[in-house]
Amino acid sequence: MKSSHEVVLVVVTAVSLIGVGCAKKVASAPPPPAPAPAPAPAARTTPTPQPTAPVARTSPALAETARRTPDAATRARIDELLARIQDAYFDYDKHALRADAMKALEGDSTELKNILAQYPEYKLTIEGHCDERGSAEYNVALGEARAQAAKDYLMGVGIPTAQLSTVSYGKEHPVCEGHDETCWQKNRRVHIVAIAQ
């Protein structure tokens, strides 16, 4: 029979061989593959807003006002018509329109009426004037009566009352400085002007 020494030696040798064989297997086994890198998340692209031309916006009130007042060319035409309408003259101490005064006011009042009807914000002032005789208070009242007579006539041809105002200057703004009937006649008048817009 074999000695216990020999049996131990055989067992040790077998265990050694097994250990060496196992070690080779472990050493020869390839390492596991590295995990694949995760794909980078797709970059989100936000569209860049394109600059747009500013939209011209007009407030309804501004647009309405623009429609209610004449443009420069129409204002020039109104001024031309007013220049052609001669001053209306009055008899001494009177405010009733004479025939020649009505003819002067009639001048281009129909065309003026048609233009003003399109622009209700455009207004005219009728100025009443007197000659130098009489008190300042009396002449202011007489000038107002003359301006009102002309306003009534213009309203009669169709110009809206809201577009006409009156003012009396009495004897304060004479067009003639003389002290005789020729000059006084020139100062007894009504004159129509456009109100500055």
CATH number where 183 lies: 3.30.1330.60
Q: What is the mean pLDDT of the chain?
A: 77
Q: How many CB atoms lie within 10 A of CB 105?
A: 23
Question: For residue 125, is it within any domain?
Answer: yes
Q: Does residue 161 contact residue 168 with C-beta atoms inside 8 Å?
A: no
Question: For residue 171, is it within any domain?
Answer: yes
Mean pLDDT of 79-100: 88
Question: For residue 3, is it within any domain?
Answer: no
Q: pLDDT grade, residue 62 (50/70/90)? A: very low
Question: For residue 145, is it within any domain?
Answer: yes
Question: The dihedral of CA 136, 137, 143, 146: what is its sign?
Answer: negative
Question: For residue 112, is it within any domain?
Answer: yes
What's the pLDDT score for residue 93? 95
What's the pLDDT score for residue 25? 47
Question: For residue 107, is it within any domain?
Answer: yes
Domain that holds residue 174: 65-194
Question: For residue 41, is it within any domain?
Answer: no
Question: For residue 16, is it within any domain?
Answer: no
Give me the number of domains the chain comprises: 1
Burial class (CB in 10 A: 0-12, 13-18, 19+), 100: exposed
